Amino acid sequence: MAEQRYRVIKRLEAGGMAEVFVGEAQSVQGFKKKVAIKRVLPHLAENKNFIGMFLDEARLGARLSHANIVSVFDIGAADGTFFIVMEFIDGCNLKRIIESVRQQGRHFPIKEALYIAMETCRGLSYAHELADEEEQPLNLVHRDVSPPNILISKRGEVKVTDFGLAKATTQLETTDPGVVKGKFSYLSPEAALGEPTDARTDVFALGVVLWEMLAGRRLFLGETDYETVKLVQQANVPSLSRLNPDIDLDLEAVLGRALTQDKANRYQSAREMGDAIAGYLFSHQLKVTSYDIQTLVKTSLAQKVTATTSSGGTGHSIIDQLIQEELLRFTSLDELSAPDAIPTRVSDGAAPLDAGLFENPADWFARDSEVSAAVASASSPDSELPVPELADEVAPDDAPELSDMESIGELASLESAEVLIAEEAKDQKGGSKVGLMLGLMVVGALIAVGLYYLSMQQ
């Protein structure tokens, strides 16, 4: 029997396309390392187009090696599904911190917001400038820069994750012309118009994230996804100083250039935007380090404990056990002898922007309780905190209940996983009943034999 390489500890989060588990890598001489394991949901495992994009994400992630980007350690397959083994970030995502600050009824600290944006620029700049072995630029664009995809550790490290929508000129799976991907509120105007995107698209998205941190509200948010896209296309940005009196004109100018509708007038690179932020911090004598970020994370995680401990722990589900069995047969893709392991059923793939597919968008700031959307953030293993499921979220009384905006292709929900759990539980319950009936029949037979034997003695 092959040695087990990865062990599942607990389920972290799940979406319409994949689910993430906290796991443990095991090697020789008792070596263990905590990892995050991203697994394609079963109903997508046979979709050739989706698996192609998933493997593109993994291959790109394996190329990226930077302090501000979540590392990819391994790519594998087991029982017809696929896994990405990634660096585990012990902390939370930026979305959680923004919600935490809002719940405290205060503005996001300016210098901490600028530090997080500056560190994000470092990670994006590395990815944008990455070249292949022949020193040819890959022209990589993340295309989904948003609060859930910016992870922050308990040590104040800032890391970009989830390059699942990234596009590089060397990729086999490319986006069809006119197809819009990414969360609608964080699209750039050119992406919302279906035009070609480049590094300046990520600059605009990061500008939106920074603006929302400082404003304490969403920037582009319509009543429907279609209205949100129209707002992005127009790119009308309200004055920050009117929303936050601590914002001066110099900082507003920095944000204004990042959020310019015409990308020719925007920062031309993440490096340029990061340098502008650093210049503002220096000129205004604002001292900020990772230690300041640690305080934000600590406060956010403390609020997360308060919000989730009352609901009870989640424990190990039947799904977790099935995943563990699959990981026993985990095989790295470079060990596979043929490409036949990749399912061949062809799906419809991506579809052009269709107003009929739009749903009501989410107001992340109006929700008091939610699992972090980064691919690999979690609470400390020593704390043994329960992890809330996405389906159990409850919106606060003073806010409407809205669902998160996802990409157009992300139409599946956690209901499939819940149904599978229910079916498994039902099967086990039915099996238990059958076993009980057989046991009673055996006992009855033994009693009958005993009575017969006694009658013969008399």
Kind and range of the H or E run holding 424: helix 415-457
3-state secondary structure 311-324: HCCCCCCHHHHHHH
Q: For residue 296, is pLDDT > 70?
A: yes
Strands 89-93 and 377-378: parallel
| Predicted pLDDT of residue 249 | 94
| Predicted pLDDT of residue 173 | 44
Lowest mean pLDDT among 92-101, 267-276, 382-391: 382-391
First to last CA, the chain: 58
Any residues with CB less than 8 A from the CB of 431 and at least 6 apart, and which?
A: none
Q: For residue 368, is pLDDT > 70?
A: no
Task: Name the residue with higher pLDDT: 444 or 401.
Answer: 444
The catalytic position among 144, 202, 225, 368 is: 144
Compute the distance between CA of residue 178 and CA of residue 164 in angstroms, rounded to an integer: 18
Sketch the domain layout of the chain as residue ranges: 6-413, 414-458
Task: Name the residue with higher pLDDT: 207 or 316.
Answer: 207
* Digit-coded pLDDT (tens) for 32-91: 889 999 888 877 777 887 788 778 777 878 889 999 999 988 888 877 778 889 999 999
Question: In the structure, what pLDDT confidence band is assigned to residue 13 with cuts at 50, 70 and 90?
Answer: confident
Lowest mean pLDDT among 86-95, 207-216, 399-408, 420-429: 399-408
Say whether 144 is catalytic.
yes
Whether pTM > 0.85 for this model: the answer is no
Strands 72-78 and 89-93: unpaired
Please state, in angstroms and as integers, the Cα–Cα distance from residue 447 to each residue in 141, 451, 454, following that order.
Answer: 75, 6, 11
* Digit-coded pLDDT (tens) for 99-143: 999 998 899 999 999 999 999 999 999 999 999 888 889 889 998
3-state secondary structure of 268: coil
The encoded tokens of residue 353 equal: 């922007």
The encoded tokens of residue 86 equal: 């990634």
Compute the distance between CA of residue 259 and CA of residue 262 in angstroms, rounded to an integer: 9
Compute the distance between CA of residue 50 and CA of residue 346 in angstroms, rounded to an integer: 9
Q: For residue 434, is pLDDT > 70?
A: no
In CATH terms, the superfamily for domain 6-413 is: Transferase(Phosphotransferase) domain 1 (1.10.510.10)
- What phi, psi does 89 have (nearest 5°)? -105, 115
Kind and range of the H or E run holding 100: helix 94-103
Q: Any idea what the Cα angle at residue 95 is, between residues 215 and 159, rounded to 5°?
A: 110
| Predicted pLDDT of residue 406 | 38
What average pLDDT does the chain have?
74
